[in-house]
A and B are shown apart, each in its own frame.
Chain A
Amino acid sequence: MAEKVPVALFVNGENRQVLVDPRQNLLQTLRADLGLTGAKCGCGHGVCGACTVLIDGEAVLACLALTVAQAGREIGTVEGLADDEASAALVQAFVDCGALQCGFCTPGMIVAARALLQRNPRPTVEEIRHGLGGNVCRCTGYVKIVDAVRTASGAVQP
């Protein structure tokens, strides 16, 4: 076992000190050390999007981020989005549209959609599809998810 090293992380607006194996990825740290289990481990190699978090405002895959390399960065997880108005609207739209079934991909979808709407507040259907292209859902077939993001963007009425 490698010797653990201390890292100062800034997560959801709070300073958090963790002691981690230098090989550890951010997803492991969030889930195991910080109890933030919203981000999920679907694949561990960057193809499913279930671990999407915000780092300095951009959508990033937590499983491909080395924890010790995140010192000084602003990390936002789905838990931290609860107080944000735009995110609340997204969550509500997911509920209203029935955009989830098992829910495993939902935290990643919400974070990726939040980042998309930040860059592009009124995306077209095509842009939503590309924006969420890295987030895999095995249940819904994506139609309702795209509907939810359009609804949250104000493009259509719920």
Chain B
Amino acid sequence: MGFPPTVSGPGALKIENSFLVPAPRDRVWRFIQSAEEVGACVPGCEHVDVVGEGKFKARVRVKVGPIKALFNIDIERTEEEPMESASYSTRGEEGGRASRLSARSRLTLRAAGEKETEVAYASEISIAGRLGRFGAGVMKKKADDLGGQFAEALRQRIADTPA
């Protein structure tokens, strides 16, 4: 019978998390300045282009069981305080299909000793169109999962990159 009903709406999806990266803050800061490096850590991200100062285009594939989507997204850095934090605004659309997403995200760095940095992120995502009809409960779990994968990939990638 059906599926969990529509409850996604503007601001319905909030994810936040923080994790430790085994590198000093200036290195983590340099790392997150690189769209290519960050893109490589985003699960399902197939492509990132720098299109201007603080402006990026990306293609991201997401999947929950049989539900699949490919989003073309535009990301713009809206605020930046070097070594401290950066805010982004994201807008995306499915090619030819009727879902749209928009998100506001903030990334914060805090030195945790000399060799470690705490990375915190918070995102508020709204999804409209066909994917907005999918149950928000599972969507949130999936978003948290993707956040966890992103954190793990970022940590791994920084650890694997020579200083």
Task: Give the B-binding residues of A (Cβ under 8 A).
Answer: 43, 45-47
Contact = CB atoms under 8 A, between A and B. Distances in A.
Closest 9 CB pairs of A and B: A45-B2, A46-B1, A46-B2, A47-B2, A47-B1, A45-B3, A43-B2, A45-B1, A47-B5
Nearest to B2: A45
Interface of B: 1-3, 5
Contacts of A43: 2
Contacts of A45: 1-3
Nearest to A43: B2
A46 B2 CA distance: 5
Contacts of A46: 1-2
Contacts of B2: 43, 45-47
Contacts of B3: 45
Contacts of B5: 47
9 contacts: A43-B2, A45-B1, A45-B2, A45-B3, A46-B1, A46-B2, A47-B1, A47-B2, A47-B5
Contacts of A47: 1-2, 5
B135 to A, nearest CB: 12
